[in-house]
Amino acid sequence: MKRNILITGGAGFIGSHVVRLFVSKYPEYNIVNLDKLTYAGNLANLKDIENSPNYTFIKADIADFGLMRRIMTDKKIDGIIHLAAESHVDRSIKDPFTFARTNVMGTLALLQAAREYWESLPEGYNGKLFYHISTDEVYGALDITHPDGTQAPFTTKASAGDHMAFGTEFFVETTSYSPHSPYSASKASGDHFVRAYHDTYGMPSIVTNCSNNYGPYQFPEKLIPLFINNILHRKPLPVYGRGENVRDWLYVEDHARAIDLIFHKGTIAETYNIGGFNEWKNIDLIKILIKTVDRLTGYNEGHSDNLITYITDRPGHDMRYAIDSRKLQHELGWEPSLQFEEGIERTVKWYLDNQDWMDNVTSGEYEHYYDNMYRGR
């Protein structure tokens, strides 16, 4: 079936994987990638598909309501996958306004533009979908100690079923929102607007909340690519606090596969959690990362351990995230395809093979940001 799909934020990390998947898997769809190209947006992420006949790029700001209205009509958009966002917690602590502008007002502008266009059509909302990509951070933070005294991480190296023993110790789709950072507060607000547009105007929408992604093309302000780059350049590895915070890691292509499945088979007005059943304490993950980089660059184990530098904790640093994605597994049959060790190996190899990409994005504006943030700590 022919469709015109708008993917926002398609020049970013996750968005570029989603655009690549849709452009190559669905030649019958027109894929419109709309991105403002902030510091995090990079068209080099899409070099391999940029000349595909079913692909168009538009440089635009989602908060520009007039432009969003025009694009909806001109491109006859019938499906939206909304990933565009300011995405880095540390930046949100320094500059919350930009996060509110894009993640709240931008999402609202897109919703309203979609509403006006779809309501103007004879078939109305029939066959339309506004799919909003959100994060597990909106749920707040989980404890690292289970009531029975067991310490997180609970699912590291465990089989996917073992987590069930811990029941409510994971984020489920009905967990109340409790955001702690300006980033997660802005994402939570965007999520509420999407649900409000469904409840108030009947806008067909789906929201998914995913855990930490990793893999190729991630901007090196996020833990994994930042640390790979710093190891290669013999720079300190800034571990916040004591490195005991826990995150649940998912390989980015598994997230893109989940988005494809949910876009096509998900139930309108539902929320789906997406996660890796793969919790790691930061410091344990960092040690695996160091070992992998050292091995793949021909150094002995332990060569880069001395780069670990404990620094002042991130304000409001959430202790633990862990997603229960059994709903998605049971209803749509999705589960992560990669073991973490394999995902990390693949990721490190990609950054080693693509050092030009890394050098390009770490020059200029980003360097200043990095220096301001960490110098003097």
The residue ranges that bind ligand NAD (CB under 6 A) are 8-9, 11-15, 35-38, 40-41, 61-63, 83-87, 102, 106, 133, 135, 187, 210, 212-213, 219
**Active site includes 217?**
no
183 is catalytic: yes
Single residue of 186, 205, 208, 245 touching ligand DAU by CB under 6 A: 245
For ligand DAU, give the closer residue by CB, 33 or 87.
87
CB of 134 to ligand NAD, least distance (A): 6
Indicate which single residue of 226, 256, 328, 348 sits in contact with ligand DAU (rule: CB under 6 A): 226
Residue 137 makes contact with ligand DAU by CB under 6 A: yes
Q: Given the rule CB under 6 A, which of 26-34, 59-67, 110-118, 239-247 is the region that contacts ligand DAU?
A: 239-247
Q: Which residue, among 228, 221, 224, 283, has the nearest Cα to 249 in the 3D structure?
A: 224
Torsion, Cα 78 271 211 196, to 10 degrees, reads 70
83 binds, among ligand NAD, ligand DAU, none (CB under 5 to 8 A by kind): ligand NAD
321 binds ligand DAU (CB under 6 A): yes
Other CB atoms within 10 A of residue 368 CB: 9
DSSP of 182-223? HHHHHHHHHHHHHHHHHHHH---EEEEEE-EEESTT--TTSH
Which option in ligand NAD, ligand DAU, none does residue 223 bind, with CB closer than 5 to 8 A by kind? ligand DAU
Reduce the secondary structure of 307-375 to three states and give it as a string.
HEEEECCCCCCCCECCECCHHHHHHHCCCCCCCHHHHHHHHHHHHHHCHHHHHHHCCCHHHHHHHHHHC
Task: State yes or no: is 136 an active-site residue.
Answer: yes
Minimum CB–partner distance for residue 101 and ligand DAU (Å) = 17
Q: How long is the chain?
A: 377
Please say whether the beta carbons of 308 and 330 come within 8 A.
Answer: no
CA-closest candidate to residue 89, choices 202, 240, 199? 240
* Catalytic one of 183, 214, 217, 251: 183
Edge-first strand listing for the sheet containing 246-251: 212-214, 246-251, 279-281
Binding part of the chain for ligand DAU, among 108-116, 135-143, 287-295, 345-353 by CB under 6 A, reads 135-143
- Stretch of 98-106, 198-206, 218-226, 363-371 contacting ligand DAU, by CB under 6 A: 218-226
Cβ distance 215 to 14 under 8 Å?
Answer: no
Site string for ligand DAU, 186-215 (x = CB under 6 A): -------------------------xx---
Catalytic amino acids?
136-137, 183
